Structure formats: structure tokens, C-alpha cells
Chain A
């Protein structure tokens, strides 16, 4: 590999630390790549060349001064536009927040800054992280680098596309029902949803508070683990944060890379296997070939039963919209963001109403209405209340399964990247994309997606789910699977034609 942009984050960090490359060279290479191909892909909503290069120059000065640097110092990163960045536009891909410049940093942003990682810009997504295709961005769709007629997944399609097209070696995503893992699977990149509460949500624009989890997007497990350790850890500003040491994910990724999984028990969920009619045969085939590889590395496959998983999708589509309907109530045009219809004649309530009518896109409105309904008097017990009960059952299924196995594996998503427009007409068909990823969100445990092969020339992902605060095992299994691939799948993406 000759180009800077082909290197992994771990390699770039070592090159910068050891003086073979400067951070300015590295950062410039990625900024130039963005200039070259993002006109086609539209992965970025905002690029901060100046800010990124300023941080890079600081790192280079620190290297020259012989200062001790963090493990990813100088390695640039893209940040999903749902994470608040002080002084940089943050929109959650919604017209509602167009032009809003946050006066504060998310905890994750602070940690990236403290780690001296140049922030390249903000990536596209489905509006307020609601969607599986990035088609619901208010600022245009993002294309899949593997096939520009296909979706890059969602909601974090921008981050996945940016990493797959080598516009960034690393990116931040957020995962509420699969928004890191499903884009990872369909773009041939690695994505991890950490344990809920292990990564701070402070400064993450809320979709569903009890499910949202920020995490790393990268080209391989080790890079993901390095980023995971930079952003993870207790934050007193997030009341749902877990006050416990960060699982040793970097060590686990390194251990996995040796290709030894002997003694590791991997569960396969009986109910997922029975419900594979939702999954495409090509996806199943690539996944099963991956399972064979894991067995060859010494893993033992055990069938586990998680009967409540059958209800995961409807449970999710009651809880997430319920919380969203309340979380999104603050967008009313009174304090910030869009204000519509304020002509001096109309009253407050009417202006609030017109603002929400104009500012939210169709999927966001659908979910607000769904959630409002699920919480209303007379329905709350049957819908929101019942969903919470099922959520407890799903947690219990996981806990029981983890008494028998170290991790659970499945395909990440039932189908390869679909074509634009293919599923926007039928919300349920869109929601099915998260069939395998949603249970982990409801449980709160970690899940990663690692590229496992191709189907119809498009990437397929394998998901590894672990117990709460057992993020390390998911990285170990993912890294082990990567060790069986001669070339990383992420490195085989077709070259992009710049515009």
C-alpha cells in the first residue's frame, strides 16, 4: 500500500508518533480525498479543513517536542452529525437544526479533542438517526462506495461511507437499533455498539435515551478498539453511565488477531435461524462460511434459545418512538434552530406547530406520531407498558444465553445494501434491516459487525454480541474472523470515481 489513506488508524498513529509521517500530511491526505470523492458520495454535511489542520499542527509540534502522545494522536476522524461539536454546525441531518452552532462539546467530542484527533467534519445520517438507509437525511442521500445506486445503510450511512471510501480512517457513529452495525455490514466496514452506559451520551442529540449508544466505525477491529478506548469510560454528566473500568478491547482485538478461538463458545440463536426467511440466501451463505471459519479457529458453536427475540422489532418500535416523541418535543422554534411562520400576527402555539410541520421530515413525523400514540392515556399500558415488559424478557433471554456461551453470533442484517427507493414506500420493509441488531439495544449489551464476505458483489457483515460490559469478547471474535481473510474486505472496495 502506497497511499496514506490506505493505512489503518493503528499504522497512521505509529507513523506519526515515530516521525515517519506528520499529522498535517495525514490529515491533508484525507481532506484531499474528501475533496476528490465526496462530491459523489455526499458522506459529509460539513468539512472543517481549518480546524482539522490546526489540531494536526499541534500534534506535529508535540511530536517534535518529544511529548508523550495518546494512542491515536494525530489520526483524523469524522463525526456523525448527531454528536454536538462546539463551534461546528450540528444538525442531526434535520432542517430543524440547519445553521445551529452548538455552544458546547459532547463528552465524546471533548475526549477526541483531548486525544488530539483532528476532526475532519460531520457526517450525513438519517434525520435524528431515524432510518436504515440515510435516505431520510434532509440534506440529500449518501451513496454506498461499493455501488453508487445503493444505500450505505443508516442511520450512520455517512460515517460508514466515509470510512469505506477512505475519506476518514475512523468515524464516530451512534447506534439505537443498529445504526452503527448495519451501515458497517453493508459498506464492508467494522462498527461497534458498545455496552449501553459505557460511552457517554452527553452531547449526543437524543433519539431514544434508553437505547442510544455512541461507538466506533473503522476498517478493522483493532482500529475500532483503539477508538473505543479513547471515547469510552464513566461520565458524571450522564446519569445512565456505568461507573466501571473500560473493558480491555484493544488487548482483546490483539488476542483475536492471533487467530486462536479455542475454548470460546459461540451461541447461535435458534429463533433467528428459524426466522431466516427474512434473510437473503446470499447473506446466509456468506454468514455460514464465516461461522465455519470461526469453528476452524477453535470456537465451539452452541444453539441457544431466545424466544422473546421474536418480539424485539415491535417492542423496539414502541419504546424508541415513545422516547423520541418526548425527546424531540424541544424543537419548537422558541430557543434555537428553525422558526417558521413567525409573522408577528400568529400566536406562539401556531408558530410552534408550523415550525414542527416545516422542520421535521416524514420518518421523524411518523415516529413522533407513533410514540405519542403509544404513550397516550388509555393506550400506554397496552403499548409502552407491554413493550417494557417484553424488553425485560429479552434481557432475561440474553442473560440465560450468556450462562451457556461467551458470545452470540448472527448475520448483522438480513439483506445486502438495497437500492435507493426500494424500501422507503413501506416502513416495515425498512425496519426489517435492524431485525438482528435490535435485541442487543433492548438488552444493553455490546454488539459489533465485522465484514464476513460478499453477496452479489456487496459486503455482508457478521454480528458478535456480548454480555453487558463484555465488549472485549466481541472484539476478540471479530479480530479472529479478520485474521482468516487474506485481504481485509474494507480494502477491496472498488475505486470511487470523483466528480
Chain B
């Protein structure tokens, strides 16, 4: 029997400081990613795959596993998987087949998952990612096709979890949706940057798949899901025992999960304890990983070739036809955009790290300048996302709204300070920037008559400063500008105010 190890062991040993941990140990990463394809129909039947339909309305004898029903493989899903394989530089199998992964689970109608085992559709590829100016090659072991399970809902309990629930309801709408699993080879040599490399790989993979148009890859809807494998070893020694952390469902969580496991495992190793090969679950709220039931480790899936489905032999002609349809991939696109936006390498890297390429592109497409778009997304908006612990894209502001905001700045209707207040309003759901500015009364005061009165007052209140300016010390104008801004509650355009002051005093 495997010894039960869970949070209690980690608590006993505590967590190491991250920097200290990576000074002592070398992490080895591994990533398994599941991507739901957005084919029109399910993997083995003709049911719709639309997200969010009434429970159990998108089912049929096949995906409910009624007695006698048989699967037929979805060609569009096979095509999409081959495209993913090609985009990840994989070899596409000449001969491949499905296999049954047998285990009992109520949301899996057949009590086996039709998957692939020894003969995946795609093998041996790679993805290159850049972190901190250094390129890392993440090698892909396999890309295979399988089907998703249904969803179980536990009702009657306080927590929505199985414990304490009085009833369990199953929704089979998701059962049988095509799922592509992408497994990396172990990734050593990332050192302290392991969390960032894991995140960069996941982001790159997501962008590649999105560019192919085969999945909407939305982590928050579960159409892209990650399992993070991690082990630690002392320099020069063999790789350690790995843990597999499931339920890692955002880019930020990928980073946090790796970081947490490094801290947890190093503390155990420091204490002379061993790491158990086990499945752990990431806790979104606390950033911890927790051990699953040790029972799961004993599962024997009894894989064997699926006798209900024919062997697939993708012809080389077909594979080449698909290769020819591949779109511009993210790396190429980034190189193109960097040139178009006239960004330096460092600046572009910041854009990529902030996961802002698509956002900036969309903002530029909505009619603003690249520099304006970059300024907002990497500046104020990144700061807001960090504060709230959200992904940039999850902020309640659209690229179109950012473009509108910058447009108002360009027109002189907003200054940067006012623009930031407008962002407050947009994020609070008060509407588009123009609406927020109107409702909150945040427009720049462009009525020069009103400004001239304010300037006169400022001059009258600060005669000594006015004399300095008259004497040629233009830098002293700042004091008067400040007074005017204060008087207009920041709604004046500083440039205009300065011009009026200098006109009057020279």
C-alpha cells in the first residue's frame, strides 16, 4: 500500500523559500494538456458540441452508451489533431488506432474512455519558448485524440462536493466531445525559471491551437486544461520522483503550481523524506496542491486496442494537404507584429509575457496606434490585472474600449489622469469610455474662457511665482499649472494651461 501523504506531511515539513529551493535542487518539468476541439459534432456520434446547453439535451444512444450503440470516428477531429501535430513539428503516424482505457466512473457512460495508447496520431515534436531572453525547447512526446467525459454535479451538500451531497446528477452533454491530449517529454534545465517556462509553453501551445482555429482554447471554460508534472533532483543526480498536479486551469495557475511544488518537494527532501509518485490537485484559492486519494495510484487501466473502430492510416498526401493549409503560426506572427509595431526585443517580450499580443493587435485593429495600445495594456491595465490577480484578458475592458479611450486622449478630450479614472468606470461596468466620461464628468476642460479665469486666479494668488516666470524662469510655471489643475479638479489639459500662463506672463 502506498502511504497516504497529503497536506499534513507538507505542513509538518513546511514550505521552503523558492529561491533557496532552486539553489539546491534542479526541477524537471512535464506538461500534459487537454484541449477540447470545437468540431461541430462529438468524437464518435453526431451530437452537437455547443457549450452551455440544457443538461442531457445533446446526447444519443452512442454517447449515452446504450446497449448496442457503436462509435464512428469524427474525421474533422482527426484532421484537427493532425494539424496540431504538424504545428508542433510532430511526425504524423502512418498507422494509428484507438484504445480503450478502462475504469469505472459515473460520468463516463461506457466506463471506458476511447483514447489512444501505444499508437498515437502524432509523435516527437517540439515547441520553442523564450523566457528572460533565453530560448527553451520543449519536446513533445505525443499528441493523441480521445473523448471527454460528462460532468457530475453533487447536490444537497453545503460545498457542492461529493461529501455531504444527497444526490449526484450527471450531465452527458460533454461526454464524447473530442479531446486532444498533448504530452511533453521531461523538460530539464530550466532551473529557477521552471514556473515561467511552464507558463510560456502553455501560452504558446494555446496560441498555436488558437491560430489553427480548431479550438477556442478557453481555460476558464475548461476547453484547455493542464496537468503539471514536476520532480526535483540534486545537481548531477538522477531525476527525482514526479508528482502530477491536476486541475491547473489558468496560465497563472500553471506558474503557481510549479512554484508551489518546488517549495513543497524541496522541503520534504531537505527533511530526508521521499516524494511519492501521486496525483495532486491544485487549489485555485490558496495556490496549494493537495494529494488525491491514494487509491487512484492503484488504477490499472487495462488498455487494449478498441475493437469497435477501424485502424487509421493517414495517407501522406492528406497530411501534406493539411500542412499546406496551416496558417501563420504565433512565432512568425509575433515577428511580423514586432516589426509592424516597431517594438524592441525587450518590449515585445514584455508584450508576450503579459499575454497581450492578441489584445494589442485587437486594439490596433480597433483604430489606435500601436504605441497607444502597448502603453495601456502593459501599463495601467497590467497593473490592475496584477492587483486583482486576474489574467489581462479577463479584465472587464475590451480592446475596442481601450482604443476608444486612447482616441479620447489623442483628441485631447482626456488626459492620462482622467483616462485612468475612466478605466475605473469601465472596469466597474459603467459602460464604454465616452459614457463613463460623460456620467462621471471627466472630460478635459477645453473651454479656454474658464481656464483663463482659473489662470488669472492662480497668478493673483501666487504673485512671486508670476514674477519669476516674467523674469524668464519658465520652469516655475509648474506651480501655477498645479494650482489650476487643482482648481479644475484635474480636468484641464496641462499643455493648454501652460500655454495660457506663458502667453499671459511673457
Which residues of A are interface residues toward B (Cβ below 8 A)? 83-84, 90, 92, 97, 100, 102-104, 106, 201-206, 208-210, 236-240, 322-323, 325-326, 329-330, 332, 334-336, 344, 347-349, 352, 372, 375-377, 380, 384
Contacts and interface: CB of A to CB of B under 8 A. Distances in A.
B68 interface: yes
B106 A334 contact: yes
Interface string B69-101: 111110000000000000000000000000010
Contact of A84 (B68, B71, B102, B310): B68
B104 A352 contact: yes
Nearest to B101: A326
Contacts of B341: none
Contacts, number: 99
Given A201-B70, A334-B106, 8 more contacts: A204-B68, A205-B67, A206-B68, A239-B70, A240-B308, A240-B310, A376-B300, A380-B302
B72 A334 contact: no
B73 to A, nearest CB: 7
19 contacts: A84-B67, A201-B70, A202-B68, A208-B307, A238-B70, A326-B102, A326-B302, A329-B104, A330-B110, A330-B111, A332-B111, A344-B166, A352-B104, A352-B106, A376-B302, A377-B300, A380-B303, A380-B304, A384-B304
A329 B112 contact: yes
Interface residues of B, number: 31
A237 B70 contact: yes
Interface stretch (B58-66, B201-209, B420-428): B58-66
Nearest to B310: A239
B300 A239 contact: no
A322 to B, nearest CB: 6
A205 B67 CA distance: 5
Given A209-B308, A334-B170, A380-B304, A239 B112 contact: no
B72 A335 contact: no
B49 to A, nearest CB: 19
Contacts of B125: none
Contacts of B162: 347
Contact of A326 (B68, B112, B166, B310): B112
B67 A102 contact: yes
Contacts of B168: 348
Contacts of A97: 67
Given A322-B304, A336-B66, A372-B302, A329 B102 contact: yes
Contacts of A322: 304
Interface of B: 61, 64-73, 100, 102, 104, 106, 109-112, 162, 166, 168, 170, 300, 302-304, 307-310
A348 B106 contact: yes
A384 B102 CA distance: 15
Given A104-B66, A204-B68, A240 B106 contact: no
Nearest to B65: A330
Contact of A90 (B67, B69, B70, B303): B67
Nearest to A373: B302
Contacts of B71: 239
A240 B307 contact: yes
Per DSSP, are chain A's interface residues mostly helix, strand or loop, or mixed? loop
Nearest to A319: B307
Contacts of B110: 329-330
Contacts of A92: 67
A274 B303 CA distance: 38
Q: Most chain-A CB neighbours within 10 Å: which of B66, B100, B162?
A: B66
Given A237-B72, A239-B72, A329-B111, A100 B302 contact: no
A318 to B, nearest CB: 11
Contacts of A203: 68-69
Contacts of B302: 325-326, 372, 375-377, 380
Nearest to B166: A344
Closest 3 CB pairs of A and B: A329-B111, A209-B307, A375-B302
Nearest to B59: A335
A422 B304 CA distance: 36
A239 B67 contact: no
Contacts of A329: 102, 104, 110-112
Contacts of B310: 239-240
A23 B69 CA distance: 32
Nearest to B110: A330
Contacts of B102: 325-326, 329, 375
Contacts of A323: 304, 307
Contacts of B166: 344
Contacts of A377: 300, 302
A206 B62 CA distance: 13
Contact of B66 (A102, A237, A325): A102
A90 B112 CA distance: 23
B359 to A, nearest CB: 43
